[in-house]
Structure 1
Amino acid sequence: MGGADGELGSLIYEKILADMRDGVATIDLQGRIITFNAAAGRILGLDPQATVGQSFGEVFLMEESFDDFNEVVLKAVYENEATHSREVSVTVGGHRVDLHVTSTFLMLERDGAPERQGVIVVFSDITEQRKRRKLKRLFGEYVDPRIVERILDRGGVEDLKGARQVMTVSFADLRDFTGWSERLDPESLVSVLNRFLTAMTIPIGAAGGITDKFIGDAVMACWGPPFTEAGEQAIDACNAALGQIESLPALRRELAESGVARAEAIDVAIGIGTGEVIVGDIGAEQSRNFTVIGNAVNVAARLQEAAKRYGQRVLVAHDTRAAAGDGFVFRMVDHATLRGRSSIEPIHALVGRVGSVSDDERRLIEQHERGVMALVQGLPDTAAERFRACLEMAPGDRPAAVLLERCLAYEDESGAGGGSGVASVPGAAAAPK
């Protein structure tokens, strides 16, 4: 009976080892591998049947890629601590595999007392877990889990070491932060700012974007490979900007209910740029973070600041408008040279989605854009007529007022209304903070 029980127990043990997802190996005191289950073979790229009975040194110690793995195993042989545990990396078939390895004494009863007979090693493949941990470190708590899965499916964070690619970048900034900081005590200001930034962050994730960083009272976000499809990035960024605007009424109500004075004045200024940037895991060795740097970032920051001058909530670069397609209504508010750039280029306001813009707004847009083109062509008199017509349709229209003022300045400078609409355009957009 005892023999049958022992045989059954051995079969159960073998079945458990065979079905385990973790690798399990046992090594006797002479360094001979006495068990090596199927999972161990799969994880380390070895044939279990061929490995059992071989010397541990011949199988592992001659392979440099197993050095860290070997160290954990040998600690259990030469050190008195019962258990050693560590995360290590090995190379299997030319690919890196991350492991969590635990080694411990293999103890058996002999003459009524436990005696060390060897080492048992248990290890699991944590490659995907490590990728996810790195993603969390790089991107913080603001990445939609669906985006994390997409990055992993496309090759993981190893692709983020540094590359040039076209991306869309946005800055969303709290309007009149200086005024809020003067009116509120420090604790209330921090509370308002945190609620504002949270409200601005949610639409970014909903539109597939990455919250890159917070810069004072502004949030920077980006869209593009490997997070979103290249052809969708400008569309996603525009949808996020509109979502940020749509979140303002609820935010104002929430702040008002909390006793924040003038909560109805909470507002946002957003700038969006599209272009080539450098994408990568950037920073000091111990504090790297994913970010993007380059001209599109600068353009977005300058447009966000210029939005306040033109009285618009969202300004986008010409490249962004072109890439966003026909699902949105834009208004070309000006031609300007942004600080740090040499060329004069159109600046567009994002008015809304197609179907949400009234006929009156469309007529205003058409009249204003005719005025902008007349101004660029050096016809300030004609442009001024267009902008006056805009102000008759919408007396408080800020873009028309700004450009009409410029037309009058050109007339004063030329004395005959023949000034160039290009000459003083570089001052149209304010410098970023």
Structure 2
Amino acid sequence: MSLDEQRREALVSERILESMRDGVITIDLTGRIMTFNAAAGRILGKKPEEVVGCSFGQVFLMEESFDDFNEVVFKAVYEAETTHTIEIALVVDGREVNLFVSSSFLTLESDSGEDERLGVTVVFTDITEERKRRKIKRLFGEYVDPRIVDRILARGAVDAQTSRRETMTISFVDMRDFTGWSERLPPDRLIDVLNRFLAAMALPIGAAGGITDKYIGDAVMACWGPPFTEADTQAADACAAALGQYEALTDLRRELAEIEIPGAERMDAVVGVATGEVIAGDVGPVSSRNYTVIGQTVNLAARLQEAAKTLGHPIIVSEETAAGAGDGFVFRELERIVPRGSRKPESVFALIGRAGEVANADVQIAALHGEGLSSMLSRDWATADKRFSACLALDPADRSAARMKARVAAYADNPPPDDWDGVWSEPMVSGPK
């Protein structure tokens, strides 16, 4: 090989070394640093031009933080036949750096065919971010939806500007009569029942593509929509999850009975679902921020879950959710309410079931009930009474129809004011003048 070819080969090797993302150090038999590439300088906080040609001991042995790094280098000398690898943590310029380090003895075959010892090669990779990812997944993987974990990892440092307004669908599912359960069961059995309930309620959320946002005592909050799920199907997905949660109660009751939980047959739940604008982002102090959603839609979903306890239907959804879910479900408009904490009247709907799976009588009742409400709003009390009476003819135990029929009778005797918004209020009975 000519001298020019040797120089070109050396130049190519040098360029390759400098372009590597891994740090590379070579040390000769006297302990002098022969090569120290740019990546090594960046990772270890050293300037290559100030290090090359210096004694390894002079550069590294005087700093206690490099003790683990030095040990790997010395192992290559003492155990020359083995390549040594280890993960270590160093403090470089006041920050912790995690490295995957590999060291081996550097040899070159001589003209005689024997290996000539030249020194030690150390190759190391900065795995700080990878280690953070592993730590976050280890800490939160069992409690937080993996998509939220991945979002945190992908984003890196918390940025306040990542919060944004989105149209999302929010659901709350809550255990009925938790106070009663807590009074009947000892603490260990109560926690077991609660954990089983929360697990049973969370599974349908994941099956429908939702995010389990948080557990709040005996309730589960979930959300659907960008950036985690499809915007167009979010309402339908949330409704599918709500039906799945209610259906899961059958297996849960059987499971509780098998472990001899008294009153297992009374295990029940209510669900509230609302669709609308939320603010999505990281909430809380810097040391313990959590990704969540806040806003009036979240409050509405929580209020609908509360309202389900008195409206006589286990799954209550907002008008926007019912409209967005499409024809795959059967809904029944119940009435207009003003949710606690709000001044805006809301039309609320019961989710009866999936289209094609609901009994014809229930489909008829849903249609008649909706017509009765429309007649009420137009102050046609006679027609409204007929529609609600027809509902009761199909199902005499229908609480909603009975409630509306009673209200129609009250309004027929004492009509609401001209600015009536459809929300029930006790009629003002005129007294003697």
Residue 286 of structure 2 aligns to a residue in which SS? Answer: coil
Deviation by residue 1:255-284 (Cα, 9 ceiling, x = unmatched): 111112221111110000111111112112
**2:288 counterpart letter in structure 1:** S
1:235 aligns with 2:233: no
SS at match of 1:273: strand
State yes or no: 1:82 paired with 2:67: yes
Query: Rg bigger for which structure?
Result: 2
Determine which of 42, 45, 55 is the counterpart of 2:49. Answer: 55
In the alignment, which residue of structure 2 is the partner of 1:211? 212
Shift of 1:427: 6.4
**Offset at residue 351 of structure 1 (A):** 1.1
Per-residue CA deviation, residues 91-125 of structure 1 (Å, 9 max, x unaligned), is xxxxxxx96336799999xxxxxxxx999562234
- The equivalent residue for 2:22 is 23
Q: CA deviation at 1:367?
A: 0.7
Name the CA shift for 1:427/1:155 in 2 (closer, same or farther; >3 Å): farther
Is the deviation greater in 231-240 or in 183-192?
A: 183-192
Q: Which runs of 5+ in 1 are unaligned?
A: 1-13, 46-52, 59-72, 91-97, 109-116, 429-433
How far apart in 1 are the matches of 2:284 and 2:389?
A: 51
SS at the partner of 1:425? coil
- Asked if 1:100 corresponds to 2:101, the answer is no
Corresponding letter in the other structure for 1:141: Y
Per-residue deviation at 1:76? 5.5
Identity value in percent: 41
SS of 2:327's equivalent in the other structure is: coil
Distance 1:175 1:137 in 2: 31
Contact 1:337–1:343, Cα closer than 8 Å, also in 2: yes
Distance 1:337 1:367, change over 3 A: same
Shift of 1:229: 1.3
Q: Show the counterpart of 2:313.
A: 312
- The residue number in structure 2 matching 1:196 is 197
Q: Distance in 2 between matches of 1:89 and 1:200?
A: 47
Alignment check: 8 A CA contact 1:76 1:119 kept = no
Q: Aligned equivalents of 2:141 and 2:303: distance in 1? A: 24
Contact 1:269 1:307 in 2 (8 A): yes
Which amino acid counterpart does residue 167 of structure 1 have in structure 2?
A: M
> By how many angstroms is 1:242 displaced?
1.0
Q: Match of 2:25, as an amino acid? A: T
Cα displacement (A) at 1:127: 3.6
Per-residue CA shift, 1:140-177, capped at 9, x if unaligned? 5352x5x4698589868968842211111100011122
SS at match of 1:325: helix
Aligned match of 1:7: none
Distance 1:354 1:424, change over 3 A: closer
Question: What's 1:122 paired with?
Answer: 124
Q: Which amino acid aligns with 1:26?
A: I
Q: Is the CA contact (8 Å cut-off) linking 2:167 and 2:278 kept in structure 1?
A: yes
What SS class does the counterpart of residue 269 from structure 1 fall into?
strand
Separation in structure 2 between the aligned mates of residue 80 and residue 169 of structure 1, nearest angstrom: 49
- Alpha-carbon shift at residue 347 of structure 1 (Å): 0.8
SS of residue matched to 1:196? helix
TM-score (norm. length: structure 2): 0.72
SS at match of 1:231: coil
Report SS of the residue matched to 1:229: coil
Query: Which residue is 1:293 aligned to?
Result: 294
**C-alpha separation between the residues in 2 aligned to 1:340 and 1:262?**
34
Q: Mark the runs of 5 or more structure 2 residues left unpaired by the alignment.
A: 1-12, 53-57, 70-87, 107-118, 427-433
Structure 1 residues 408 and 186: CA distance shift in structure 2, 3 A: farther
